[in-house]
Structure 1
């Protein structure tokens, strides 16, 4: 496993061990993630573990009235921006920000400090040998509005937070609600 993933493992273990989850289901996932990290440091690296960590970014506008989502090319569903950790990522936050910038096409995002939410979800055969993602989620405010479709997406667009796509999963809806709360509680960030 590349050395950088060891540092990301240490950060994930420290952050998840001290983070206060916002709900009982989030707490259950947080505890499972900590247990996974303690048992298998290689879970940070997608090329080793069948169940591995990812990071993602919920991107909202400055008023927390709209959220930018991507229609994932493999899953064919709307999601926040995110993906696998890469050897050049210095922190989990940096990985989430990189994914947000790459997949949204936005030129500038203001990352809010601290972990937002977690999610553990099973994957279907379209994802190859990987069977599960343990996702660590953050929030950022978009400075601009112009979105661009990436190679990993079929579409990218803004949605009113009160009019999300019908197929938006409960975990995504929860993350968006938490993101909007955080942005509204920290105006001007």
Structure 2
């Protein structure tokens, strides 16, 4: 999925969730910015994430992010790579050690615009996160990366307690709770 394909996918992206509808146009406009996929764009840039679920849709893999000290989906910066699907898959492998990741659908699963607090290297800025739905086996060994404090397969019913008021994760949970399991 290159920049043009991303713009096309965003233009056709439909969601029943009002919070996503509010920033679809901002994502589309960002695809025209030459720095959209680079951290150098200080006001905000694209990132990509993997919402990793087990085949039976009872658990999701979450990481306890070291810097943000929150449980989140796996993902990261594009660092110039305009293929956000590739970024999401690479980040999922790097942050989990999982090898047998299966993309459920090549289409965009979810989008979220969220603020990242200022740190020693960067001012406060936005991440325009494009997410993809991925399946993995729960019995495959996990490897915790330097970016994480922990990794865990979390039961769907306990995710709200673990992520607290993270509406974007709760939205992805709702999307996969309603989706059909394909065997």
Give the TM-score range, shorter chain: 0.7 to 0.9
Q: Quick check: 1:9–1:44 contact (8 Å CA) kept in 2?
A: no
- The unaligned stretches of length 5 or more in structure 2 are none
**From 151, 163, 171, the counterpart of 1:174:** 171
Find 2:123's aligned residue among 125, 129, 134: 129
- What residue number does 1:70 align with? 63
Please state how far the C-alpha of 1:168 moved relative to its aligned partner: 5.2
Note the C-alpha offset of 1:158. Answer: 0.9
Superposition RMSD in Å: 2.0
Size of the alignment, in residue pairs? Answer: 178
Please point out which of 117, 142, 147 is paired with 1:147: 142
* Contact kept? 1:108, 1:144, Cα under 8 Å: no
Aligned 1:36-75 pairs, distance under 5 A: 36-38=30-32, 40-75=33-68
Superposed structure 1 runs of 4+ greater than 4 Å apart: none
What residue is the counterpart of 2:100 in the other structure?
Answer: 108
Q: Who is 2:14 aligned against?
A: 20
User: Where in structure 2 are the equivalents of 1:24-35 lying within 5 Å?
Assistant: 24-35=18-29
- What is the TM-score normalised by the length of structure 2? 0.88
The gaps in structure 1 that reach 5 residues or longer are 1-6
2:72–2:163 Cα contact (<8 Å) kept: no
Greater CA drift, 92-101 or 172-181:
172-181
Helix, strand or coil for the counterpart of 1:129? Answer: coil
Deviations 1:93-122 (A, max 9, x none): 111111111111112110111111110001
Contact 2:3-2:82 within 8 A present in 1 as well? no
